[in-house]
Amino acid sequence: MLLQHKPGNLVQTIERVSTIFDVMAQSSRGISLKELSAKAGLPKGTAHRLLTSLAYFGYVRQASESKNYYLGFKLVELGNRLLDHLDLRAQARPFLISLCKRTKETVHLVILDQNEALYVDKVVSDEIPGGLQMVSRIGSRVPAHCSSVGKVFLAQFSEQELERLIKEKGLKKRTENTITNPEKLKHHLEVIYRQGYAVDDEENEKGIRCVGAPVFNQKRKVIAAISISGPTVRITKKIIQETLKNEVIKTALNISREFGYQG
């Protein structure tokens, strides 16, 4: 798994638009031109010209009263088309639904994108009682080092790739359980590689525990990961060891076979 490096011939306008999208994605209630300009590190005039063009094509919209800017519905359209074209998502979904029905817990399908865990599908059981809700949603991202699905990918990294990721991304502390020591993380990933599954023990969200396993293709490359997630009061360490780890490993293996995996 090669880490992506910033190319030396980036088109400045595209880089600026990408920055604008990233800033706006963090502002669910909209963002003013002044605030966006400051957060994106762009002159107000430049930011305004880019926003005007993006609004024309539907990638950005502006509220008539507040004048705040929001991400446009064109991005939703493109995002849905991308997800529809993901053979992985289509082929995995029946298995995810079955896993959700058996465990009565939330199930996720994740890929690694820009060395972050990107949620591409989520199945929630109708039988899940009210209470603690997870922040995960399709299209959202989470750092790889503090999620079960992310750690499944990192367990496949070479030592050099892992060191590069730590240098570029860091090991941000999300909760008191997040592993932020590089040596401890390396040892933890070695265990994950040997046992074939990973556990997020409230490392990303307080009160949420997850267990994840890798999905392989015919070349034995990890192309995705799936997880079972829920509140710690239901997903105890004992239940993970007794049933859930086997459920997630078995389902991941069945999905892998859809992609020619023979292991």
Q: What is the pLDDT of residues 192-222, one digit of tens each?
A: 999 999 999 999 999 999 999 999 988 899 9
Helices (H), the chain: 12-25, 33-40, 44-56, 73-84, 87-103, 148-154, 159-169, 182-195, 237-239, 245-258
User: Is 1.10.3720.10 the CATH number for 12-75?
Assistant: no
Write down the pLDDT at residue 138: 85
pLDDT higher than 90, residue 241 = yes
Residue range 144-203, pLDDT digits in tens? 999 999 999 999 999 999 999 999 999 999 999 999 999 999 999 999 999 999 999 999
| Rounded Cα gap, residues 225 and 5, in angstroms | 24
Q: What is the location of CATH 3.30.450.40 in the chain?
A: 86-258
Q: What is the location of CATH 1.10.10.10 in the chain?
A: 12-75
Write down the pLDDT at residue 134: 67
* CATH number for the domain running over 86-258: 3.30.450.40
pLDDT higher than 60, residue 1 = no
pLDDT higher than 90, residue 131 = no
